[in-house]
Structure 1
Amino acid sequence: MKSADVVVLGAGIVGVSAALHLQARGRNVALIDRAGVGQETSFGNAGLIERSSLIPYLFPRDPAKLIKYALNLLPEAHYHFSALPAVGPWLLRYWRESAPERVRRNIEARRPLIEHSLSEHEALIQQAGAGELLRRGGWIKLHRSEETLAHGVSDAERLRAYGLHIDTLNSSGVAALEPDLAPVTGGVHYRDTAAIVDPAALSKAYADLFVSRGGHLLSGDARSLSQEPDGRWRVAAENGPLVAGAAVVTLGPWSDAIYGPLGYRIPLGWKRGYHMHYAAKDGAKLNHPILDADFGYLLAPMRRGVRLTSGAEFARRDAPPTPVQIEVCEPTARRLFPLAERLDPEPWRGARPCLPDMLPIVGPAPRHRGLWFDFGHAHHGLTLGPVSGRLLADMMTGEQPFIDPTPYRADRF
């Protein structure tokens, strides 16, 4: 029987980052995943380390917009009517947490994580020798009308108060940064954000660093987790069971498979999303990740090609793919940037694990000694993986947490 000090369940960017931070504090760590490193939620995203994302993604409160969402008329969101009995209660809690007074509280709660997100990645990227995956230069939020540009500028002004570097662009300003785009009214350039050109490769680089330092990367089924009479945690892994003094749940949208049977009632939901890669026509080049704010999709330059990522789909987590948003947004994206052929056989689908307040859970399980949670990073798993891993490792090893962990406790709901 194998043994370790800590077993981390889930080898996405969150789990690998937590494993590295625990390892750096002298713990013997085993990292277990059923699908391989970075092959689930961490595989498909916009690749942004979103240093400027202090304002959480909110449930809309404009009645006219809500009617359009209800009728599935807006491309940035799509829902399965058949899933409403399952996802409806969570959506109601999400709506409540998007009230202005709660948003102000949640901005302050997420601020320490966001402000340390890029620096924590930079440290791990340097140690992993993965600098070729990191691109600086920020991202651009495009607007097609004066009305939506005014809203974008207003949001930018709120964020400038936090010391962020943000430029407002007119049409020619956008063209100077992205000459191969079709003309738009203007945009906002968030310069503090960095981008990863292959998110799955970054998870793999972090995992390779973990293994090179003596970590154990194993295939296994996290759902087999059980607690031994002596308090240790046991999980089925390749070539036999593994026991550890502590277990960390970093399973993203599947975390309920662990905490649910243990009696925890955590309101974890998910927003499904899709991506597709494209070649570029005639040597066209995309220099920055681009969010088309009026149509709710993002184009990002990646190693594989230009990645088009969709907005949110509200459906049962494991329901068959319905990449409606890719199909709706692709023609618009082709008019904005000269996309050529599709490079993937079909759109990739994943699920963003979300709590109603758009904050993760990072900390101990309230009723089970030695069980720890690190999940629910919403749209920012890539952004927050290393910083939440550092916070978790501080708490697990008895160090003074470098930021206050109270806003992320599991029993806050």
Structure 2
Amino acid sequence: MSNISVAVLGAGMVGVAAALALQKKGFQVTLLDRRAPGEETSYGNAGVIARSSLMPFNNPSLFGNLPTLLKNQSASFRYRPQFLLHNVGWATKFLANARASVFRETTTALDSLIRLSMSEHAQLLRASGAAHRMRDNGYLMAYRQAAALGGAALARERMAHFGVSTEVLERDHIRQLEPALNPIFERALWIKDTWSVDNPGAVVKAYAELFRKQGGQILQARLKTLEPLAGSRWRVVGDAGGAVEADRVVVALGPWSRNFMATLGVHVPMAYERGYHMHFAPPAACNISRPIYDTAGAYVMTPMEQGLRVSSGVELTDLDAPPNPLQLDLAEAAARQAIDMGERLEPTPWLGRRPTLPDSRPIIGAMPGKRNLWLAFGHQHIGFSTGPGTGAILAALMNGEAPPVDAAPFRAERFLKA
């Protein structure tokens, strides 16, 4: 066993998966976060592990949609003008990376990361005893108007290019697959090689428990900053005065990575795509068997252990701006047209934050100019899907090995300098 100690900061899917992958390589790993594993962003997603997630929001079709999006009235996208004014650099780069050449590079990189992650997920689900939570019956992108399917031509071309298995469904076939749905969808695209889980937070906890059983240490602490020590080691400092020393550190704090890296004098060009969800209690005869994305209603509904989860679109605003339930209210109204959802099960909506870099790819690799500091953040909407692949890449790089897929598209030097 290696005597090299690693502190992994962040206990979401990305951090837990990185801790497991490093542990497998023989590193002595401590996992730290302010909350227990799987209780932040990784808890509230739609639970989808999808090959189709290779399509970034900033793709070439974004330019044609900008006039509508900028009106700030869409259920799929809302923004706070002051946030964009304060983050003009990020917004400009985000638009620049929607051009075709970068889009092709991004989809290629994300496809490799997603395929690697699905293989890693399969192993971890079995090893952690969480395989019973996984469904392999795919994911439906539903269209209320048949003509709207034509607007997905670019996504379908990219999915076909990478061999993603899909099938176009007519209204009758949709009802055969999901009889609880009202007949409001004329077409659907069935993404067949997609998995989903009934409780993403519980999956992260199962992975974390596997890490602990294998000798890993999990500490709960509110993290403040890092201090360099002799020999290129680090001290992780908490705001209550506690500290952990380690030979190497991995920052996997998701949307909180930007503020944490700022304590080291590093500016991370990150924005926060916030989103909301609510659970509902549909009648037993009115549930669905897989996630469904209503493209016109701009929500995803997923059958979960806690109830039917309805997740909203993107809210572009500050990390800790006050909650704004408008998008979720619009999503609920649209979802009630599609299915009998029953009553809300929580008094207030859940709010999560998705960390997005200008090219919609995560950073996975070494921090330039800071020895033994490694980064794994910026996974936008797909951290739950791509955490295990991220861990596999990072562990190989930190162990001096060739990564299982090309890691160059994820290098920190895209945005961060020494």
Shorter-chain TM range is: over 0.9
Instruction: Give the letter for the 1:25 counterpart.
Output: K
Q: Deviations over 1:166-210 (max 9, x none)?
A: 111011111111111111111000011100110110110001000
**What displacement does 1:59 show?**
5.8
Mapped partners of 2:313, 2:59: distance in 1: 13
**Which ranges of structure 2 fall in alignment gaps of 5 or more residues?**
none
Question: What TM-score, normalized by structure 2, do the two folds share?
Answer: 0.94
Q: Which residue of 1 aligns with 2:380?
A: 378
Count of residues in correspondence between the two structures: 411
Q: Which residue of 2 aligns with 1:402?
A: 404
Q: Does the CA contact (< 8 Å) of 1:156 and 1:188 recur in 2?
A: no
- The CA RMSD over aligned residues, in Å, is 1.8
**What displacement does 1:269 show?**
1.4
**What displacement does 1:123 show?**
0.6
Q: Structure 2 vs 1, CA of residues 328 and 87 (structure 1 numbering), >3 Å: closer, same or farther?
A: farther
Question: Which residue of 318, 321, 324 maps to 1:322?
Answer: 324
**What displacement does 1:248 show?**
0.2
Mapped partners of 1:246, 1:218: distance in 2: 16
Q: Which residue of 1 aligns with 2:23?
A: 23
Q: Structure 2 vs 1, CA of residues 100 and 63 (structure 1 numbering), >3 Å: closer, same or farther?
A: closer
Q: Does the CA contact (< 8 Å) of 1:60 and 1:66 recur in 2?
A: no
Q: Does the CA contact (< 8 Å) of 1:153 and 1:168 recur in 2?
A: no
Q: Which residue of 1 aligns with 2:194?
A: 193
Mapped partners of 1:282, 1:353: distance in 2: 36
Matches within 5 A, 1:15-164: 15-58=15-58, 61=61, 65-152=65-152, 155-164=155-164
Instruction: Give the letter for the 2:298 counterpart.
Output: G
Question: What TM-score, normalized by structure 1, do the two folds share?
Answer: 0.95
Q: Which residue of 2 aligns with 1:12?
A: 12
Instruction: Give the letter for the 1:57 counterpart.
Output: F
**What displacement does 1:291 show?**
0.2
Q: Does the CA contact (< 8 Å) of 1:232 and 1:370 recur in 2?
A: yes
Q: Structure 2 vs 1, CA of residues 224 and 157 (structure 1 numbering), >3 Å: closer, same or farther?
A: closer
Mapped partners of 1:78, 1:141: distance in 2: 21
Q: Does the CA contact (< 8 Å) of 1:220 and 1:236 recur in 2?
A: no
**What displacement does 1:43 show?**
1.1
Mapped partners of 1:316, 1:369: distance in 2: 31
Q: Structure 2 vs 1, CA of residues 64 and 243 (structure 1 numbering), >3 Å: closer, same or farther?
A: closer
Q: Deviations over 1:303-339 (max 9, x none)?
A: 0111000110011111111121011121110110110
Q: Does the CA contact (< 8 Å) of 2:299 and 2:311 recur in 1?
A: yes
Q: Which residue of 1 aligns with 2:283?
A: 281
| Greater displacement, 172-181 / 72-81 | 72-81
Instruction: Give the letter for the 1:348 counterpart.
Output: W
The reply to whether residue 214 of structure 1 matches residue 210 of structure 2 is no
| Greater displacement, 225-234 / 296-305 | 225-234
**What displacement does 1:92 show?**
1.9
Q: Does the CA contact (< 8 Å) of 1:86 and 1:316 recur in 2?
A: no
Instruction: Give the letter for the 1:242 counterpart.
Output: V
Instruction: Give the letter for the 1:42 counterpart.
Output: S
**Which ranges of structure 1 fall in alignment gaps of 5 or more residues?**
none
Mapped partners of 1:213, 1:358: distance in 2: 33
Q: Identity percentage over the alignment? A: 39
